[in-house]
């Protein structure tokens, strides 16, 4: 006899409570829930079980599946509460987020209502476990999109099975269970493959999660006693107890999600499947069933959908307001607030619409029309938020620039010409456009690197003027000065960077024969090491490819985060590529100044100063030191044994022992999330002028 899911099962609500509490407490960073994110996987098994059971029951009873009625039920159940949370989040973000962050939120909200937010966040986040996602208020909706995509695909699969069974006079249940087993096996193999080749796909994509949903569906076709059997057997009692123990262990024990994913996910999913099966084999309560049927668990389970919807926007927006800072007491208070909001949503939105079907949800046809109207309204609101954010961001930047220009009246004018490097990397910008300093003066120095070499203009320009020397600026965004190594972004090799570096090295060799003395190497070194981005606006991190020509011709897949393009591999490539650059420059008889990475705030510094006081915008020195530690070690290894290379770390000009500043007196340090202002550069030139005089002199460098 097959199990029916037409009856409401209170134990399922209790299991929902376990799942949602695990996720919420994990997101709130409460100790003891280090793998609480697996609560989402429990939800997937529950959804697969319930949806498959309902569709199977309908197909067996009526011989067909009413798609319009099915999707109308789904919209009544899910969309109204979701729309309320989305509208509230967009409205609150208008006042809390920096305007530059609103366009990203608007895009995410649109992705949510169009049911592809899992694809959106797979592309526009460094990964679910990256600290940068703390300030993405709609990140949690990825799981809703996985389920919604499942809801579109699964009924079609079942209808196809019913049709084949009728046409060829097959047993429909056997065909369905066989189809589910094939789907489970195929999806699980794809998940395993993606886990090692593309972890984000393994996490976010519906095909990689289908095995979890399908395992839940398979419960409906497993052999066993019907639910009305009164007394559970000893094996069933043991099964339910062991299953719950495994679930609790996977949720609470301190497992590393990357290292143990291949064990954690299957353990949680199989244990959940076993527990649901044990529950529905027997109607009399085991101890586990009694635990799951307590009133508090049932009530939390009933409001679990709204609880899940509300908790993350509250946590994320508060962390964004406090510049990414996590505070346990504050976050626990917000969890309690989200639970209160969930009760309100359940009473005022979910229950009336699902049970009473008020207009415009009175019929399936009007429900689908209402759903379309709600979706369009949210898209329109998201568009308004996005456009307002763009306009306001432009206005704020203009005001900040005006203030900086007024402050800059105290320093000599810096008439720095534009030096736009061609994006294809096939040629360099005309040299005369990139020369700095007095006309006709000799070229004593070349600055080479990415945009963090470019932001040294404020430091070097006044010194060049004072020394009556010229320097050549060769900088291009996201292109570090490495020989035979180049970044990848996502899975795309940055070929223009590789070509450009070859041309710059040839140019330096030419200038070395004409009196060039020194090369300054600057880079945002941390950003090429497959680390989470400090910039909340960044969507993809970079890694480094060594011997890029060989890597390109080998045909191997390039993917940030996958070895050797992970953090460890990129560190080694940084060391090797930089060492080759330094040896080439030293071989030309040139002095080299290598500048360590500057500390980076995890937010837009000028926008923070626009809204808050300077002390409120400071960020932890410890966080900066932890991020830079491996990088500094790689830089030190690269310069070892090269006496003509000088290394300088400017961090003490930004930070004290505990915190890093965003203003130095009246001078704004940053012009965005990580680049220095001209004023800060000029301030550094005043402080470091004597120390860096050797840049312009013929004296041999001593370290």
Q: Where are the domains of the chain?
A: 10-391, 416-696
- The answer, yes or no, to whether residue 607 has pLDDT greater than 60, is yes
Q: Are strands 619-620 and 659-660 parallel, antiparallel or unpaired?
A: antiparallel
User: Who has greater pLDDT, 555 or 280?
Assistant: 280
Q: How does residue 257 score in pLDDT terms, banded at 50, 70 and 90? A: confident
Task: Give the pLDDT of residue 588.
Answer: 96
Query: Is the per-residue pLDDT at 132 higher than 80?
Result: no
Would you state the pLDDT for residue 51? 95
According to DSSP, the residues that pair with 473 across neighbouring strands are: 447
Residue 545 has pLDDT above 90, yes or no: yes
User: What pLDDT sits at residue 701?
Assistant: 43
Q: Residue 659's beta-bridge partner residues?
A: 620
Please name the residues in contact with 663: beta carbons below 8 A apart, sequence gap of 6 or more.
Answer: 609, 614, 617, 669
More confident residue, 654 or 230: 654
The total of other beta-carbon atoms located within 10 Å of residue 703's CB is: 9
Which residues on neighbouring strands pair with residue 446, listed in sequence order?
472, 519
Contact between 468 and 438 under an 8 Å Cβ cutoff? The reply is: yes
Q: Which residues have a Cβ under 8 Å from the Cβ of 564 and sit 6 or more positions away?
A: 546, 572, 573
Burial of 4 (0-12, 13-18, 19+ CB in 10 A): middle
- Note the Cα 681 to chain centre separation in Å: 32
Taking the model in full, what pTM does it have? 0.85
Residue 700 reports pLDDT greater than 50: no
d(CA 205, CA 571): 30
Q: What is the mean pLDDT of residues 14-29?
A: 97
pLDDT band at residue 644 using 50, 70 and 90 as cut-offs: very high
d(CA 242, CA 588) in angstroms, rounded, equals: 70
Fold classification of 416-696 is Rossmann fold (3.40.50)
The residue-averaged pLDDT of 632-639 equals 97
* pLDDT 10s digits, 47-76: 999 999 999 989 888 878 999 999 999 999
Query: Average pLDDT, stretch 517-530?
Result: 95
What b/e readout covers 510-533, taking b as 16+ CB neighbours within 10 angstroms?
A: ebbeeebbbbbbbbbbbbbbbbbb
Q: b/e string for 339-363 if b means 16 or more Cβ within 10 A? A: bebbbebbeebbeebbeebeebbee
- Let me know: does 458 contact 685? Beta carbons within 8 Å: yes
The answer to whether 446 touches 511, Cβ cutoff 8 Å, is yes
Calculate the average pLDDT of the chain.
Answer: 89
């Amino acid at each position: 006899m097959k199990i029916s899911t037409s009856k409401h099962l209170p134990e399922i609500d209790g299991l929902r409570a376990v799942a949602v509490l695990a996720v919420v407490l994990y997101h709130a960073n409460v100790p003891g829930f280090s793998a609480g994110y697996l609560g989402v996987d429990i939800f997937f098994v529950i959804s697969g079980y319930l949806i498959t059971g309902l569709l199977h029951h309908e197909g067996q009873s009526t011989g067909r599946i009413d798609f319009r009625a099915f999707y109308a039920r789904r919209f009544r159940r899910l969309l109204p509460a979701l729309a309320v949370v989305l509208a509230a989040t967009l409205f609150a973000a208008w006042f809390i987020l920096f305007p530059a962050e609103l366009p990203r939120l608007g895009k995410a909200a649109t992705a949510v209502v169009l049911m592809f937010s899992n694809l959106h966040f797979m592309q526009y986040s460094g990964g679910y476990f990256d600290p940068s996602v703390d300030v993405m208020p709609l990140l949690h909706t990825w799981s809703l999109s996985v389920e919604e995509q499942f809801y579109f695909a699964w009924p079609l699969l079942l209808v196809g099975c019913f049709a084949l069974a009728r046409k060829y006079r097959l047993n429909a249940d056997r065909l369905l269970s066989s189809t589910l087993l094939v789907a489970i096996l195929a999806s699980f193999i794809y998940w395993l493959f993606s886990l090692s080749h593309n972890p984000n796909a393994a996490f976010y994509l519906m095909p990689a999660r289908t095995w979890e949903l399908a395992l839940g569906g398979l419960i409906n076709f497993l052999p066993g006693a019907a639910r009305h059997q009164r007394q559970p057997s000893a094996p069933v009692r043991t099964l339910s107890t062991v299953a719950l123990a495994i679930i609790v262990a996977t949720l609470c024990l301190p497992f590393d999600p990357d290292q143990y994913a291949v064990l954690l996910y299957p353990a949680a999913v199989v244990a959940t499947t076993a527990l649901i099966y044990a529950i529905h084999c027997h109607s009399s309560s085991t101890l586990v069933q009694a635990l799951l049927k307590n009133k508090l668990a049932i009530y939390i389970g009933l409001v679990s959908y709204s609880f899940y919807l509300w908790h993350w926007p509250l946590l994320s927006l508060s962390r964004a307001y406090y510049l990414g800072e996590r505070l346990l007491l504050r976050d626990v208070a917000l969890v309690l607030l989200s639970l209160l909001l969930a009760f309100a949503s359940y009473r005022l939105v979910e229950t009336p619409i699902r049970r009473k079907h008020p207009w415009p949800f009175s019929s399936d046809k009007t429900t689908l029309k209402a759903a379309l109207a709600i979706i369009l309204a949210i898209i329109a609101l998201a568009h308004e938020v996005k456009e307002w954010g763009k306009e306001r961001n432009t206005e704020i930047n203009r005001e900040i620039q005006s203030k900086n220009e007024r402050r800059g009246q105290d320093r000599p004018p810096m008439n720095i010409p534009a030096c736009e490097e061609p994006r294809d990397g096939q040629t360099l910008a005309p040299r005369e456009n990139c020369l700095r300093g007095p006309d006709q003066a000799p070229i004593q120095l070349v600055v080479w690197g990415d945009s963090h070499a470019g932001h040294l203009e404020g430091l070097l320009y006044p010194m060049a003027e004072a020394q009556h020397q010229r320097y050549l600026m060769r900088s291009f965004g996201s292109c570090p000065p490495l020989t035979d190594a180049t970044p990848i972004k996502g899975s795309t090799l940055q070929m223009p960077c590789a070509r450009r570096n070859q041309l710059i090295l040839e140019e330096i060799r030419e200038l070395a024969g004409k009196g060039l003395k020194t090369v300054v190497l600057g880079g945002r070194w941390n950003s090429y090491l497959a680390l989470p981005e400090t910039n909340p606006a960044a969507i993809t991190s970079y890694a480094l490819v060594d011997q890029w020509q060989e890597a390109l011709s080998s045909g191997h897949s390039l993917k940030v985060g996958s070895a050797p393009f992970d953090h460890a591999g990129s560190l080694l490539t940084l060391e090797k590529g930089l060492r080759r650059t330094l040896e080439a420059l030293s071989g030309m008889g040139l002095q080299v100044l290598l500048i360590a990475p500057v500390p980076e705030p995890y937010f837009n510094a000028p926008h923070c100063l626009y809204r808050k006081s300077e002390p409120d915008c400071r960020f932890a020195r410890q966080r900066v030191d932890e991020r830079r530690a491996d990088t500094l070690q790689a830089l030190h290894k690269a310069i070892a044994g090269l006496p003509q290379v000088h290394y300088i770390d400017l961090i003490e000009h930004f930070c004290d022992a505990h915190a890093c500043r965003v203003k130095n007196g009246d001078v704004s340090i940053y012009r965005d999330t990580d680049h220095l202002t001209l004023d800060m550069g000029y301030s550094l030139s005043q402080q470091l002028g004597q120390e860096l005089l050797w840049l312009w002199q013929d004296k041999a460098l001593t370290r």
